[in-house]
Structure 1
Amino acid sequence: MTTSTTAVGPAKTGPTPGKDERVARSSVFVRIFSKPEFGAGSAAVVLFILFASVSQTFTQPSSIATVLYGASTVGIMAVGVSLLMIGGEVDLSAGVGVISSALSASLFTYWFGTNVWLGVVFGLVFSLAVGALNGWLLTKTKLASFIITLATFFMLTGLNLGVTRLITGGVATPTVQGLPGFDSAEAVFASDIPVFGVNVKITVFYWILLVVIATWLLKRTKGGNWIFSSGGAPDASRAVGVPVARTKIMLYMGVGFCAWLLGMHQLFAFKTVQSGEGIGNEFLYIIAAVVGGCLMTGGAGSAIGGAIGALIYGMALKGVVYAEWNPDWLKFFLGAMLLGATVLNLMLQRRAAKGGGKK
């Protein structure tokens, strides 16, 4: 009988099966902080600890509900503005757009003596039309969005005051309280929802819902890819068939929708609207998006990051009050906190980028 033997050769030195040596393993730090929302989240945690350490009131459930409400009034708009900035554009008319929506709904109801829900629908149509006009002008004229929306800002500011004076003779709209449909509209746009014994404004839940929808849109849909590519490389995107113009128009209409939602809340929460309000709020929305990691050049960012940016603003705004600090320094403190959050976010992302190839 012949016995066969198998020679044992030297051990193989090739790559381990199942592993690709071309792919470097990054550290946990890199994987976490290369995402913009985690840098902003770190700043939010630092800010929360700061106010919690100087004020016991800040951590009370009712105080947290107040902070969330303040954050939601910026956060709702920050969702639309974040998506727009990822798409490579800005909207300087967003602040007065909120008031324009509320005024259009209120004045329509007052002038025609209709049910307030007809005014609500008119306000929605008006806001979407303004957004579509901004987007259309941007794509047709090829002007910078800064110029287009700055012009819209001034036109809406004048329109708000002029039309309000023309119809009412004053600078504010008549109260909508007691008009047909008011109670149901107030329940939808300005009610309180009890959560574990604490009343939370409904805007907080709308804000969370919008963030979830926007995050799903960006990460799970073809439209999300279009938004990122339209902001990061618009010319290359057009070359491969991405509808860049349509995408940007829809993004502006998204800002208009958010403006309508927040405008309806203000109308039914306060029952009347001052025509001169809203000026300057557009910068709060942009700052929240930038703090959350959205680049002014487009192509990067997230809805979650914008939400965290709005939360930072809400904590800073209410935290100064609960800490009983001198309110004369409020604006300076807000600016310092927002600047600090932005710098921290940038530093963390740069450090993560430098360590991207390390095991």
Structure 2
Amino acid sequence: MTESLVAGSPNPLSHRLFARPEIGATAAAGVILVFFLAAAPAFRSGGSFFTVLYQSSTIGIVAIGVGLLMIGGEFDLSAGVIVTTAGLANSMFCWWFGIDLWVGALLSLAFCLFIGFVNGYLVMRTGIPSFLITLGTFFVLQGANLGLTKVVTGSVTSPDISRMDGYPLLEGVFASNFDAGGVTVWGTVLWWLGFTALAAWVLQRTRTGNWVFAIGGSADSARAVGVPVVRTKIGLFMTVSFLGWFVGMHTLYRFNTLQAGNGVGNEFLYIIAAVVGGTLLTGGYGNAIGVGIGAFIFGTTSLGIVYAGWDPNWFKAFLGVMLLLAVLVNLYVKSLATSTRLLRDSPGKADDA
């Protein structure tokens, strides 16, 4: 009787397929890629494709952390400026004191992790929504980036670090590239794929991943069954800060200098990449692969518009449309996932049939 129910049910296999968080983003990425391949001849070269991957990686690395945090039910609006903070802390500290850049990079990492810890600690201990806590952090870091840079250098630009001790090795770690078949492949693309794979494994195969989903669905229920809610959420905020530090190091060691006002607004791009990739704004649902695909959609569109020769101002309008559509698709996918789970977990009904 169970077999007859499944056979007569509305395609449970297709339900399970379409209930995956990344399925909508995958379809959208395919449509957008084919569209720009047809509309922009310059988009069809291998070099253009790897440029898209590079653009996607600079957003996608931090978006992974933001997506994990959103699955855990929180937001971090300081994620954009912390990228710039990381680079400025490294460059100006070493320039002012004349020390090796490796020391500055480690101190910058410690500072960024501290910011993530403070964000998470304040959210958990005060009960104030993470939106407000991290908005405050955003303004503090934005002002400090501009103010301190001007005090130290006399301008809003960090000093050139290309001649300082430790630069060659750090450039190799954070801003390397190599030729592959006549195209340039940036190391950040490989780091992005690696971070995405690691995050996907943690979410789907580890106890920590189960904790993230549990606290995103209901922190009180998760706490009742022994999940370390405070520790897990603080860890998620620190993960965002770590990935922001990593991209900050890449930006610094690729361009040798930074504008103190950079990064403002990127926090919304990270959130959009996560939402387009199937992450619900309400928490408890999503995956890292979907966030990666969302970042790829961002890279494809931002450069596809340029290659097609269109006014780049339309890009923001496209992001708004994609965000609205993604929210609607995600709600539908979540309902499919819920109905599929109920069908799978109700053997008694099948036996009664």
Instruction: Kindly indicate whether residue 119 of structure 2 is the aligned counterpart of residue 138 of structure 1.
Output: no
Larger radius of gyration: 1
Rounded Cα–Cα distance in structure 2 between residues aligned with 1:353 and 1:299 = 12
Instruction: Describe the SS at the equivalent of 1:194.
Output: strand
Deviation at 1:61, TM superposition (A): 0.5
Which residue in the other structure is 2:98 paired with?
113
Between the aligned partners of 1:202 and 1:87, the Cα distance in structure 2 is: 29
Partner of 2:89: 104
Q: 1:341/1:215 Cα in 2 relative to 1: closer, same or farther (>3 Å)?
A: same
Is it true that 1:318 corresponds to 2:303 in the alignment? yes
Q: Distance in 2 between matches of 1:237 and 1:20?
A: 37
When structure 1 is superposed on structure 2, of 247-256 and 167-176 the one drifting more is 167-176
- Aligned pairs for 1:324-335 within 5 A: 324-335=309-320
SS in 1 for 2:160: coil
1:259 and 2:244 correspond: yes
Greater mean alpha carbon deviation, residues 147-156 or residues 49-58: 49-58
Distance 1:339 1:319, change over 3 A: farther
1:34 aligns to what?
Answer: 19
- The structure where helix makes up a greater share of residues is 2
The match for 1:204 is 189
Instruction: Answer yes or no: is the 8 Å Cα contact 1:26–1:355 preserved in 2.
Output: no
Q: AA paired with 2:26? A: G
Q: How many positions carry a matched residue from both structures? A: 343
Structure-2-length-normalised TM-score: 0.91
Residues 341 and 136 (structure 1), Cα distance of their counterparts in 2 relative to 1, 3 Å cut: closer
Q: How far 1:92 sits from its partner (Å)?
A: 0.5
TM superposition shift of 1:353: 6.0
Unmatched runs of 5 consecutive residues or more in structure 1 = 1-14
CA drift of 1:34 comes to 0.1
Name the SS for the 2:22 alignment partner: helix
Q: Give the conservation status (yes or no) of the 8 Å contact 1:33–1:349.
A: no
Query: In the TM superposition, what is the alpha-carbon distance from 1:343 to its structure 2 partner?
Result: 4.0
Per-residue deviation, 1:342: 4.6
Q: Is the 8 A contact 2:78 2:135 kept in 1?
A: yes
Amino acid at match of 1:43: A
Q: Which of these residues, 131, 143, 161, is aligned with residue 146 of structure 2?
A: 161
Deviation (angstroms), 1:344: 4.5
1:222–1:351 Cα change, 3 Å: closer
Tell me what 1:123 maps to.
108
CA shift in 2, pair 1:232/1:169, >3 Å: same
Compared with structure 1, are the counterparts of its residues 52 and 87 closer, same or farther at alpha carbon in structure 2 (3 Å cutoff)?
same
In the alignment, which residue of structure 2 is the partner of 1:188? 173
Where does 1:236-247 land on structure 2 (aligned, <5 Å)?
Answer: 236-247=221-232
Task: Give the structure-1-normalised TM-score.
Answer: 0.90
User: Is the 1:40–1:345 Cα contact (8 Å) retained in structure 2?
Assistant: no
- Indicate whether 1:68 and 2:53 are aligned: yes
Distance 2:207 2:6 in 1: 29
Report the Cα distance in structure 1 between the residues aligned to 2:39 and 2:13, rounded to whole angstroms: 32
Give the match for residue 84 of structure 1.
69
Out of 195-204 and 61-70, give the one that drifted further.
195-204
Distance 1:145 1:236 in 2: 19
Contact 2:278 2:326 in 1 (8 A): no
Inter-partner Cα distance in structure 2 for 1:346 and 1:165 = 46
For residues 351 and 325 of structure 1, what CA distance do their matches in structure 2 show? 37
Three-state SS of the structure 2 residue aligned to 1:172 is coil
Identity of paired residues, percent?
48
Q: Name the amino acid aligned to 1:145.
A: S
The aligned counterpart of 1:8 is: none
Deviation at residue 22 of structure 1 after TM alignment: 8.9
The 1:147/1:55 distance shift into structure 2, 3 A limit, reads same
Separation (CA, whole Å) in 2 of partners of 1:55 and 1:341:
25
In 1, the alpha carbon distance for the partners of 2:322 and 2:72 equals 26
> In the alignment, does 2:321 pair up with 1:336?
yes
The match for 1:292 among 263, 277, 287 is 277
Task: Tell me how far apart the structure 1 counterparts of residues 5 and 35 of structure 2 sit (CA, whole Å).
Answer: 44
Query: What is the one-letter code of the residue matched to 2:269?
Result: L
Q: 1: CA distance between counterparts of 2:187 and 2:276?
A: 25
Distance in 1 between residues matched to 2:37 and 2:338, nearest whole Å: 32
Q: Which stretch of structure 1 is more off in the superposition, 194-203 or 135-144?
A: 194-203
